[in-house]
Each structure stands twice: as structure tokens, then as C-alpha cells.
Structure 1
Amino acid sequence: MTTQEFEQIKLTRASRVQQLRDQLDRLLDLKLQELVDDDVFKAKQAGMKTEINELEQQAFLASDRQQRIETDTRRALDIATYGLSVLLHGSTKKKRTIARTIGSSFIALDGRIEIKVSDWLIPFGRATSLVAGPGTLQQPSIVTQVRTRQRPHFGSRKRKAAVSAAVCSLWQSIVDDVRTALAANIDSIDLPEWDEFGDLRE
């Protein structure tokens, strides 16, 4: 679910709650005017109050879930930005943490460990590929460019602006895809926390 879809559901739920409260007010007015008997009043009032409570509980759970999705999206982007460096240079414990986080299965092959990455990492395929062409320097990954605020260092000003615009557009698409993938797997994903220096917290 995208942030926009979440906000739309949130607004729809809030609108329904307000509608029910307005109906409760009108029901009370009818009761005070003795235009509805006790049994009907109690039944309708109980039904509307129950629906309001259910909607408010749903809102609370959805907000908590959305907060977790946003936190895990940031942590997933941390993995894409700094994970390779930790795998190459980190301690054995940190390497295991990264492997456990990104892997869905592990196969020992000729003295090496082959890691099959989890499906939720697929959106990062576009994010981590390097851009290279004849006569050009390799550029950092999309994730690294955006999160470390790097800029293209080749070509004219117009060329740099065009590349930056393309990177930002792709970045937004990647973030949406990652958020959607995490939302679909939120109960089975456990992402580690990173510090401000791009290292895993112990």
C-alpha cells in the first residue's frame, strides 16, 4: 500500500466515524422528542457506538502498522546504502546480521555460501545497478546518490540536471516499490537498525 492509498483510507475511515457521530446526535434528538421508543433507540445507539469503536481501533492499528512500515523502509534503504560495505569490511557478527536479513535461503557450494535474497529486495535491483557507458565513469548506485547527496560529475550542466532529475524520479519509484513490498511482508521481516554513520547498531 502506498502512502497516498493509506491516507485515502484514513480519510474515508475518519469521515465514516464523523457520519456515525452525527447520526447519534440526530438519534438522541429524536429520543428527546419522544419520536423513537426505548428499544429502537438502545439498539441503534449500541450498533453505531460499536461501529465507531471498531473504526477507531482499526485506525490505531493501521497507524501503528504504517509507522512500522516507514521505519522498515528507512532501514531497508540503509541496507541498500551501506550493506555491501558491512559485508566486505564488517565483523563476523555484522556480516551474519546482513546475511540473515537479506537471505531467504543459504546453500554451501565449493566452500562458499550462496545466498538467495528475499523477494522484498527485488525493487532494489534498479537501485543498486551501476550506470556506465563508453567513455564515462561509473556512477554510484541510485540509493547512494540520493542518500549521500552525491551529484553527477560528468558532462555539461544541462546533462547533470537531466541525470539528477532522472535519478530523483527513479528514486521515488523505488521507495514506493520498497514500501509496498515491505507492507506485504511486514510480519516476516526483521530489519536491523543503523546508526548515523552507516554502521549497524550492536
Structure 2
Amino acid sequence: FGIHDRPLVKNNRIIPIEHKGIKLMSMGFLVEQGTPMIWRGPMVHQAVEQFLRDVEWGGLDILVVDLPPGTGDAQMTLSQKIKLDGAVIVSTPQNLALIDARKGVAMFQKMDVPILGIVENMSGFFCPNCNHETHIFGHGGAAAEAKKLGVPLLASLPLVPELVQASDDGHPLDTIESNERLAVAYTNMTNAVLNRMTVAVEPK
């Protein structure tokens, strides 16, 4: 989101930074730019706990936690500390990335976290001149993996250079709203996630 401000602290509570109605918190807000983050198990555990316990989230519709790929300490700690309504596994189409996705699905299932589905990111590049789609990172890998694992493919998101630049500049939502292909892809993904969450949290 292009945010470099530090969050305020009031009454020993961290106030998340708000942007376009979204409350945001990141370790990047708490350290100097360019400072390397050397993550070890206890530090990851402490950071996850602090974000859950000490941030003044207030009323939220959904809390989304963006985690690194794989099955590290962050995923384990989060799954142990709170009841998660579901996990969305994000992967690019190539086989190497799908290995991490497969491990992520297995870990969350072992922790009794519902798998909402898989999102294939950077699934294809559309030429701005002729609109031809090129599959730079392969094609259909996430769909095949989702079928193999018995989970839904929630969305295939195109690779759009304008969105990359807009994200660096801090206004990705504006670009998504103004690009019909992106708007449809992200709206469909959002609806698919919400529908799956409704199923996941229904009483058995």
C-alpha cells in the first residue's frame, strides 16, 4: 500500500494504520527502512502474539493475515493461538511453487484449519497491444494441484504490470477498479473466498 508511517501507540495499544477503510499492521511499520529482519522461532512467535494481543483492531469484518510461503513458525503459531476460519493458499503455476502450496495445505489440515481453496497468482500475461495471453510461468498447475488435493481453485489472477507499479506506488485498489479484467478477477476471488468461509464456519 506504499505506507511508510509508524503506527501510533495509545494506552499500550498499537493503533493500526487505516487506508481506504482497511486497517493495516506490518513488521515493516515498526522497523527502519532497510533494516534486515532476522526471524528466529521465538521472535516469530512473539511478533504473532503481539499483533493478535496488542493491536487495537476494533470491529472487523474479516482479519486477513498474509504469511510467508511454506510451513514455518508463523503459520504454526497463528494456528495454535486463535481459531482460524480458513486458509487460502496462494501459488504461482510452476511446479516449484506448488511444492510449498502442497505443504501448506497439509500443515493447515493437520492443524484442523479449513482449506478455503487455492489462488493461482500470475497465471497469465495479456499483451496490451493484441490482448494475446502468454503463460510465462506455465499453465494450469494450480488448478491441477487443487483437483489432486480435493480443494477448490478460487481464482486465477493475471499478471498485470500496471498493478505491480501501482502496488509499489501505494494505490493498487485504484488500478484494480479501473481495469475491467482485474476487477472481475479480484471480485470473483473475493466472492469465492466469502462463500467458502460461510460454508467453513457453519455449525456441523
TM range (shorter): under 0.3
Higher relative contact order (CA 8 A, sep 6+): 1
Question: Scaled by the length of structure 2, what TM-score is found?
Answer: 0.26
More strand by proportion, 1 or 2? 2
